């Protein structure tokens, strides 16, 4: 056995039996990998455990838990040459689904055993590390509504019910978006900036595909005029995310850039990889080639850009 790895395991993630799930992981991985196992606690999170593993010079770091655990563990690994493995056991499993990693324990372990890695981008949002996406407005409010108790009882339905509830309080806000070469002003209900996103994160999929190793971030702007239009926009984005095609509605815009500065009026909450914070303005920049991850190959399509049709749209070239 010439491989070793630090396994960071969150015992309160998901709805399964943590002892059985840890035993299953060990039974598969320990045939080839010597595991140094560390469990998260109320006082010691995945980020702290990953920092310690990096300092110890771990040959690989594997995280098992929900999206919050995986993102927290990935952050200290960014910028190192340490391979990062993902075993999702959460509610939404967006992290795994976005990167094409199986969300079952057995299959995720097989990806790690195969040993194939890929260098992917990450991002920084107001000083916070980001692997997946930042959702401003509607998505942040929805994430905040789907609390831990609801996720434990209902699973992914907690997000769907929270989204439906949030539709009743749908509101728009003024937004100014600054990139390297232009300033865009419009009115929106949701703005999402993605480095990587699963098809279930429909508000991120205005373009025809998100490439997570191209040094660029993908922004989708959703600006429905009514609640009925919001439902229609969400359904259209679900279709485009599922089919890999670009959105064609006038109230959905999208563009790509290395970095974004986003100012909203009134100020909006933001969900960074599922964690809600308050920030104004919001600055997000891509960190190319930040993370070496065990991931199977996935087929990608070239993303597109479209802004025409958004309400009160003003574009100023820089």
Q: Does 306 fall in a domain?
A: yes
Amino acid 29: pLDDT: 97
Domain boundary among 52, 87, 115: 115
Same domain, 132 and 68: no
Q: Is residue 123 part of a domain?
A: no
For residue 120, is it within any domain?
A: no
Query: Which are the contacts of 308, defined by CB distance < 8 A and separation ≥ 6?
Result: 250, 253
pLDDT at position 162 is 47
pTM equals 0.83
| pLDDT value for 109 | 97
Find the helix or strand (DSSP H, E) in which 268 lies: none
**Same domain, yes or no: 161 and 278:** yes
Q: Give the residue numbers spanning the domain of 102.
A: 3-115
- Whether 122 maps to a domain, the answer reads no
Please name the residue that has the structure tokens 């539709």: 167
- Within a domain: 293: no
Pair 171, 268 in one domain: yes
Instruction: Kindly state whether residue 160 falls inside one of the protein's structural domains.
Output: yes
Residues 199 and 86 in one domain: no
Q: pLDDT digit of tens for each residue in the chain (318 aa)?
A: 679 999 999 999 888 899 999 999 999 999 999 999 999 999 999 999 999 999 999 999 999 998 889 989 999 999 999 999 999 998 778 888 888 899 899 999 999 999 999 999 999 999 888 999 998 987 666 655 545 455 555 454 444 544 455 555 677 899 999 999 999 999 998 899 999 988 778 788 888 788 889 999 999 998 988 878 887 887 888 788 888 888 899 999 999 999 999 999 999 989 888 788 888 899 999 999 999 999 886 555 667 788 888 888 888 888
Quote the pLDDT of residue 158: 45
Domain at 97, CATH number: 3.40.50.10330
Q: Are residue 147 and residue 283 in the same domain, yes or no?
A: yes
- Total domain count, the chain: 2
Contact, 122 vs 99, CB < 8 A? Answer: no
* pLDDT value at residue 19: 96
Q: Which of these, 210, 207, 199, lies nearest to 307 by C-alpha position?
A: 207
What pLDDT sits at residue 236? 85
Using the Cα atoms of residue 83, residue 88, residue 89 and residue 91 in order, give the sign of their dihedral: positive
76 in a domain, yes or no?
Answer: yes
Pick from 82, 93, 46: nearest CA to 293 = 82
Contact by Cβ (8 Å): 235, 274:
no
**Position 235 in a domain:** yes
* Co-location of 100 and 155 in the same domain: no
Gap between the Cα atoms of 138 and 62, Å rounded: 32
The residue behind tokens 């703005």 is 191
Distance (Å, whole) CA 63 – CA 61: 7
Of 57, 92, 115, the residue that ends a domain is 115
Q: Are residues 187 and 229 in the same domain?
A: yes
Q: Which CATH number covers residue 217?
A: 2.60.200.40
- Single residue among 76, 93, 115 that ends a domain in this structure: 115
């Amino acid at each position: 056995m010439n491989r070793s790895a630090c396994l960071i395991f969150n015992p309160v993630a998901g709805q399964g039996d943590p002892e059985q799930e840890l035993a299953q992981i060990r039974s598969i991985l320990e045939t080839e990998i010597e595991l140094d196992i560390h469990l998260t606690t109320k006082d010691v999170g995945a980020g702290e455990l990953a920092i310690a593993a990096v300092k110890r010079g771990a040959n690989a770091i594997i995280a098992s838990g929900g999206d919050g655990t995986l993102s927290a563990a990935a952050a200290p690994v960014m910028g190192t040459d340490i391979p990062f493995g993902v075993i999702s056991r959460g509610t939404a499993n967006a992290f795994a689904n976005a990167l094409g990693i199986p969300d079952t324990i057995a299959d995720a372990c097989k990806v790690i055993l195969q040993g194939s890695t890929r260098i992917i981008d990450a991002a920084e949002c107001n000083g916070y590390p980001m692997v997946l996406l930042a959702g401003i407005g509607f998505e942040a409010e929805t994430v905040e509504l789907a609390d831990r108790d609801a996720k434990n009882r209902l699973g992914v339905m907690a997000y769907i019910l929270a989204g439906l509830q949030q539709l009743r309080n749908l509101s728009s806000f003024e937004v100014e978006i600054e990139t390297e070469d232009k300033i865009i002003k419009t009115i929106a209900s949701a703005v999402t900036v993605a480095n990587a996103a699963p098809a279930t994160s429909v508000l991120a999929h205005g373009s025809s595909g998100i490439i997570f190793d191209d040094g660029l971030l993908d922004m989708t702007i959703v600006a429905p005029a009514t609640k009925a239009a919001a439902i229609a926009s969400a359904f259209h984005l679900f279709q485009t995310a599922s089919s890999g095609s670009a959105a064609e509605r006038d109230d959905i815009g999208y563009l790509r850039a290395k970095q974004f500065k986003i100012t909203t009026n009134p100020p909006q909450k933001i969900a960074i990889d599922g964690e809600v914070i308050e920030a104004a303005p919001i600055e997000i920049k891509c960190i190319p080639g930040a993370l070496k991850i065990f991931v199977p190959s996935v087929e990608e399509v070239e993303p597109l850009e479209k802004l025409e049709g958004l309400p009160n749209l003003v574009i100023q070239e820089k």
